[in-house]
């Protein structure tokens, strides 16, 4: 369900979301990868940098003091994400300031290890590095 909603939202981005996406996409901003309209749990977030656990939301007036947004943000934060919310008007009229806040948040965020980097390195007691493996390779030379 969230994936279908995300695909729909990608086609219906607001002007503010389009502006942010232009600046964030393709590693353009600080060399960091962002995804747009990404499903996380039961929610779809505007932009997310998974490596830094940073979510960026561009909000219109309907989000002012919205209890659903607070519950959503609380759940996302319980998953380790930091959520930055910007008013659409600020994104469009104060883009540089918004990007500075995002840059600061990226600087403060710790890089989360990728799943592949969590694997143990190869054992030094097996393979080419062992004395018996070296003797085998030398005898075939």
Domains of the chain: 2-114 (3.40.960.10)
| Mean pLDDT, residues 92-109 | 95
Report pLDDT for 66: 78
* pLDDT at residue 23 tops 60: yes
What is the full DSSP assignment across 11-32?
Answer: HT--HHHHHHHHHHGGGTTTT-
- List phi, psi (to 5°) of 130: -80, 150
* pLDDT at residue 48 tops 70: yes
pLDDT band at 90 (very low <50, low <70, confident <90, very high): very high
| Mean pLDDT, residues 93-100 | 96
Q: What is the pLDDT of residues 58-69, one digit of tens each?
A: 988 665 677 888
Report pLDDT for 11: 63
| Mean pLDDT, residues 8-30 | 86
pLDDT band at 8 (very low <50, low <70, confident <90, very high): low
CA distances from 17 to 36, 123, 126, 136 (A): 9, 47, 52, 60
Pick from 115, 96, 114, 99: nearest CA to 47: 99
Report pLDDT for 13: 85
> Which is more confident, 132 or 49?
49
User: Are 91 and 16 contacting, i.e. CB atoms less than 8 angstroms apart?
Assistant: yes
Q: What is the pLDDT of residues 103-129, one digit of tens each?
A: 999 999 877 655 444 444 444 554 555
Rounded-to-integer distance, Cα 108 and Cα 128, Å: 41
């Amino acid at each position: 369900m969230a994936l279908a909603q995300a695909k729909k939202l990608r086609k219906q981005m607001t002007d503010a979301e389009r502006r942010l996406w232009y600046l964030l996409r393709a590693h353009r901003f600080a060399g960091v990868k962002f995804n747009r309209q990404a499903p996380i749990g039961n929610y779809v977030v505007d932009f997310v940098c998974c490596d830094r656990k940073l979510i960026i939301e561009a909000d219109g007036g309907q989000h002012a003091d919205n209890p659903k947004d607070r519950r959503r943000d609380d759940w996302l934060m319980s998953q380790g994400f930091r959520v930055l919310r910007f008013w659409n008007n600020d994104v469009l009229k104060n883009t540089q300031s918004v990007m500075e806040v995002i840059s600061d948040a990226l600087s403060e965020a710790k890089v989360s290890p990728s799943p592949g980097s969590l694997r143990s390195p190869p054992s030094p007691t097996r393979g080419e590095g062992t004395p018996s493996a070296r003797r085998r390779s030398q005898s075939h030379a």
